[in-house]
């Protein structure tokens, strides 16, 4: 009986302090599928990064935001998703420092992704609600500055949130063989406020305003009314183009919220067997969003499909390929 119990421990040689081996929340086949999704996520987002970085015509303010989002999605597929799968299905044998680094990256990358979504929403808000001043307000230089500021704030916040790592006190650490972050209620509420309530409220509010303005503009175009205000003095063709872009990015934001909200909603629940069972799936669902984003690009953006073809066929290695017409 003792041998059988010892076999269920992460460190059988330390029976009093070792964690028990976690029971995998899904079959082995599902675990392999998740690792495959992680690899696909890395590959697809790498294609996006290469496409926007290489082809000069794609260096637009909106695409710079998509590039930043693709970088965070790449890191999710490369680091976070494999880490979450391993942590949910096996003992943690890599020590406190690697656990702290994984936690730090989780907070950093998640915060950066949320910040990118907020910036994308602001970009569309200005394009739809103030189209005459869009080109002067939203420049490539300003967008690059906002992206750098977003990542800087994410790094600073992650360092603040996990300030007690890389080591935890023996009081906080219940056993050895698990990678868990123990935070007090105030820290959890602050994290919920900063990385969920505030950004989601901003995103929803901006897109509700975009939707309202888009409906009014669509009615104006259908009735062939010539707008006299600055907001409606653009040509119908320009309006139609911006509305299509808003719808495409709206799908991106909607999918993000669907994958993102369940994980943070669970934070309100007390720690019980339901949260233990469901949270691994919600963590993977959040990471899976990083794989869905490139699929959305492939469905809605012809330039991405054309860029992938040029990359796969190695035509981007030819001189002058960066000047290729992609639009």
Cis peptide bond N-terminal to 166, omega within 30: yes
Burial class for 185, CB neighbours closer than 10 Å (0-12, 13-18, 19+):
exposed
Q: Pick from 105, 49, 117: which is nearest to 81 by CA? A: 105
238 has pLDDT over 60: no
Total Cβ atoms within 10 A of residue 136: 9
H helices of the chain, in order, are 2-7, 28-54, 61-75, 81-89, 95-129, 134-137, 140-161, 185-192, 198-222, 236-265, 273-300, 302-312
- What does the pLDDT read at residue 115? 93
The structure's pTM equals 0.84
Query: Superfamily for 26-323?
Result: Rhodopsin 7-helix transmembrane proteins (1.20.1070.10)
Where are the domains positioned within the chain?
26-323
Average pLDDT for the chain: 81
Q: What is the pLDDT of residues 281-319, one digit of tens each?
A: 788 888 888 999 888 887 888 899 999 999 999 999 999
Name the band, by pLDDT with cuts 50, 70 and 90, for residue 234: very low
> Which of 130-134, 196-200, 308-312 tops mean pLDDT?
308-312
- What does the pLDDT read at residue 23? 75
Name the band, by pLDDT with cuts 50, 70 and 90, for residue 245: low
Name the band, by pLDDT with cuts 50, 70 and 90, for residue 263: confident
- What does the pLDDT read at residue 170? 46
Report how far Cα 17 is from the mean position of its chain's Cα atoms: 36
């Amino acid at each position: 009986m003792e041998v059988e119990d010892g076999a269920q421990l992460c460190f059988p040689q330390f029976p009093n302090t070792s964690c028990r081996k976690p029971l995998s929340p899904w079959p082995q086949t599902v675990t392999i599928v998740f690792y495959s999704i992680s690899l696909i996520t890395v590959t697809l987002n790498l294609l996006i990064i290469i496409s926007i970085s290489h082809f000069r015509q794609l260096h637009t303010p909106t695409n710079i935001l998509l590039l930043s989002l693709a970088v965070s999605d790449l890191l999710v597929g490369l680091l976070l998703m494999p880490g979450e799968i391993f942590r949910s299905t096996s003992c943690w044998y890599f020590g406190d420092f690697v656990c702290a680094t994984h936690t730090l990256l989780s907070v950093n990358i998640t915060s950066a992704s949320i910040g990118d979504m907020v910036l994308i929403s602001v970009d569309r808000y200005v394009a739809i609600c103030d189209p005459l001043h869009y080109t002067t307000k939203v420049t490539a230089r300003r967008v690059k500055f906002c992206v750098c500021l977003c990542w800087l704030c994410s790094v600073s916040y992650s360092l603040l949130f996990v300030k007690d790592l890389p080591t935890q006190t023996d009081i906080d650490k219940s056993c050895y063989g698990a990678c868990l972050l123990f935070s007090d209620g105030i820290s959890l509420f602050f994290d919920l406020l900063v990385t969920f309530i505030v950004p989601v409220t901003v995103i929803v509010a901006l897109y509700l305003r975009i939707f309202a303005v888009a409906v009014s503009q669509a009615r104006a175009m259908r009735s062939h009314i010539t707008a006299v205000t600055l907001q409606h003095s653009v040509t119908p063709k320009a309006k139609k183009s911006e509305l299509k872009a808003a719808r495409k990015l709206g799908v991106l934001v909607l999918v993000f919220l669907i994958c993102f909200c369940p994980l943070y909603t669970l934070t309100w629940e007390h720690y019980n067997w339901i949260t233990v069972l469901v949270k691994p799936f919600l963590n993977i669902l959040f990471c899976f969003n990083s794989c869905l984003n490139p699929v959305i690009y492939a469905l809605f953006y012809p330039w991405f499909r054309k860029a992938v073809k040029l990359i796969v066929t190695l035509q981007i290695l030819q001189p002058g390929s960066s000047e290729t017409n992609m639009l």
